[in-house]
Structure 1
Amino acid sequence: MTANNAKRVLLITGLSGAGKSTALKTLEDIGWETIDNFPIRLVEGLLKTPPSSSRSDEDPPLALGFDSRTRGFDPNRLIERIKRLQHNESLLISTLYLDCAGDELERRYAETRRRHPLALDRPAKDGIALERNQFEPIRRWADHVIDTSRLSANALQQQIRKEFALGDSHNTTITLTSFGFSRGLPSNIDLLFDVRFLSNPFWDPELKDLTGQDQAVAEYIRQDPAYEEALKKFQDMLEFLLPKYQAAGKAYVNIGIGCTGGRHRSVHVAETLSKNLQAVGFSTSVAHRNLASRPMEALESMQNGNGNKGN
């Protein structure tokens, strides 16, 4: 059994309020299978089935969450169980411990008005101190320790994504949507590019009934003096912003490309930008909201609000 075929298992534990739920949710978002507060005595049975000889999306890595509320939780016994499991060559097991300063945990419990699981009828700081002492053997033994005292939930998500990413299969989903302003803005747009400054093929009788997917229309649009510089600036902006969105853990980025009717300029620009982004490594898809809409002079005359039939 090689390390590449071994099933990856991450055990997550730490102080209550330190961010275990956030860590598990983030792992789930990037492709891990996650289970929280799974009974300790059942762990070996859960993991005893060896993975298939070839890894696939049907056999994702597994993250198990434990804390002081977990049934049968005992730090020393947990360590002994993990040591036994690590002798199994079909498993690749590591442990993540989430730590946090006591005053920060007190603040979090005060803000959420939740009771610390070990505090019972005493102040939260007493429960925190008891839990910290109880968990110290695991903290010393853990493979990964993240102190969340100064981390926001978003910062913790980014760190989890960075340390436990599975590869490129769970990158941000990027969609470019062409549309016509005269038919209303699409919903859920994150970035919006208005290309109504480009020459409008609608006013050429030979191009009016064609779309931005036709070669003649594409050539007409590309002849606009502003076209090349505008596309380059759009591309530069997206190449700068998209990695930032990915690093922030944004699952979807929707880019709107709008012209007047949504059939010519926006269609061509959306498809061109999509191809250009794919060429530099981004995974994109294209949607044309108004491609099948009937061309209407009344709508196209709304350009610039004054019926201008030029640029």
Structure 2
Amino acid sequence: MPDLVSPPGAERSRADLDLVIVTGTSGGGRSTVAKALENVGYYVVDNLPEALMVTMAELVFESGDATRRTAMVLDVRSHAFTADLVGAVAELKNRGFKPKVVFVDAEDDVLVRRYEKVRRAHPLQGSGRILDGIAAEREVLASARETADALIDTSNLNENQLRARVEELFAPADTRRVRITTLSFGFKHGIPLDADFVVDVRFLPNPYWIPELREHTGTESDVSKYVLSQAGADDFLATFTDLISTTVPGFEREGKRYVTIAVGCTGGKHRSVAIAEALADRLRAVGLSAYPHHRDMGLE
């Protein structure tokens, strides 16, 4: 998302402020997301009470740099957290800002393991269990999660992978366009939480059963050629490219900026990887902004 430079003499607009709001479950990876945003040029304000969001946005705007890229990170550690993030975002929009809300999440069992690893209590668990704190937090954040512009599932990502994912989403690009991620995954590792579309390519023969292909991945030409040469592969890619091309203008009209297409096979190594790569290529060929990402490749 590039800095938008107003032409000489043009009146500055709050819509020119590239404003990102990051929230999500404790232990989901907000601090890593914040660092990644800094890496791509954002000024990051961490642990900001939502009551101060509008004030902070106005201060950044009034600083005279309307092209400032700013990210605000909110969570329930703040005693001023009022559970009305949706209302605060609506107020920003009423004032002319165009904030993008990113929700960072992970599966409950993953969050529990992360807390146990660092031997910390969940901020909302009180005298209960970690799971009690997670459940209470999910209730507080339910509306924010539902209305977020982008949902990042960190369940199967390490810090470097999460940082790369954020940089893929927020590296300079045309902010007016929908940014599409074709995300390969393995069904045996679970369906991604952040998927807008889920497609199953297990109808294609599995290269795993070809000895000379088994140890390779769908990013390699031999595996890719094998997968894409199978009956139905080309029809699937053509049909799904048409489907996404048809829906993207509607997403743009509705203000949705990020679309994740989860492409699944058994393990996330061969078929889903090859199809995710090919689908991204086809989407780019028709003028869309599409990037492949492989969640489970290397987990075998």
Name the TM-score, length of structure 1 as normaliser: 0.48
Deviation at 1:120, TM superposition (A): 2.1
For 2:157, give the aligned amino acid. Answer: L
Q: Which structure has the greater CA radius of gyration?
A: 1
The aligned runs of 1:1-311 (5 Å cut-off) are: 6-49=16-59, 50=61, 60-75=68-83, 77-89=84-96, 91-166=97-172
Report the CA distance shift for 1:51/1:164 in structure 2 as closer, same or farther (over 3 A). Answer: farther
- CA shift for structure 1 position 52: 7.3
Q: Would the aligned equivalents of 2:15 and 2:98 in 1 still touch at CA under 8 Å?
A: no
In 1, distance between residues paired with 2:123 and 2:64?
42
Structure 1 residue 111: deviation in Å? 0.8
Q: Which amino acid aligns with 1:36?
A: D
Partners of 2:93 and 2:15 lie apart in 1 by 15
Instruction: Tell me the matched-pair count.
Output: 162
Matched residue SS, 1:117? coil
Structure 1 position 4, deviation (Å): 9.7
- Displacement, 1:129? 1.3
Kept in 1: contact 2:105–2:154 (CA 8 A): yes
The whole-number CA distance in structure 1 between the counterparts of 2:138 and 2:105 is: 9
Contact 1:109 1:115 in 2 (8 A): yes
> 1:27 touches 1:34 (CA, 8 Å); kept in 2?
yes
Alpha-carbon distance in structure 1 between the residues aligned to 2:120 and 2:82: 23
**Matched-pair contact (CA < 8 Å) for 2:92–2:98:** no
Letter in 2 for 1:25: K
Deviations 1:210-254 (A, max 9, x none): xxxxxxxxxxxxxxxxxxxxxxxxxxxxxxxxxxxxxxxxxxxxx
Distance in 1 between residues matched to 2:69 and 2:155, nearest whole Å: 28
8 Å Cα contact 2:54/2:91 also seen in 1? no
Three-state SS of the structure 1 residue aligned to 2:94 is coil
| Aligned mates of 2:63, 2:123 — CA distance in 1 | 39
SS at match of 2:52: helix
Q: Distance in 2 between matches of 1:10 and 1:35?
A: 10
Quote the offset at 1:54 in angstroms. 7.1
Deviation at residue 39 of structure 1 after TM alignment: 2.2
Cα distance change of structure 1 residues 42 and 19 upon mapping to structure 2, 3 Å threshold: same
| Cα distance in 2, alignment partners of residues 156 and 133 from structure 1 | 25
Post-superposition Cα deviations, 1:90-122, rounded to whole Å, max 9, x if no partner, equal: x22110001110000011111111111011222
* Residue in structure 1 matched with residue 221 of structure 2 by the alignment: none
Structure 2 CA distance, aligned partners of 1:42 and 1:52?
16
Amino acid at match of 2:55: G
TM-score (normalised: structure 2)? 0.50
Give the share of equivalent positions with the same residue, in percent.
31
RMSD (CA atoms): 2.2
Contact 1:16 1:116 in 2 (8 A): yes
Q: Which amino acid aligns with 2:82?
A: D
Alpha carbons 1:26, 1:157 under 8 Å: kept? yes
Q: Note the C-alpha offset of 1:85.
A: 0.9
Aligned CA distance change for structure 1 residues 123 and 30 (closer, same or farther; 3 Å):
same
Instruction: Give CA deviations for 1:39-62 in whole Å, capped at 9, x if unaligned.
Output: 22222222224367875xxx5311
Judged with a 3 Å threshold, the aligned counterparts in structure 2 of structure 1 residues 116 and 5 are, in CA distance, closer, same or farther, namely: closer
- Residues 48 and 4 of structure 1: CA distance in aligned 2, closer, same or farther (over 3 Å): closer
Q: Any conservation in 2 of the 1:6–1:51 contact (CA below 8 Å)? A: no
Q: State the 4+ residue runs in structure 1 displaced beyond 4 angstroms.
A: 1-5, 51-55
Distance 1:88 1:141 in 2: 19
Q: Deviations over 1:252-278 (max 9, x none)?
A: xxxxxxxxxxxxxxxxxxxxxxxxxxx
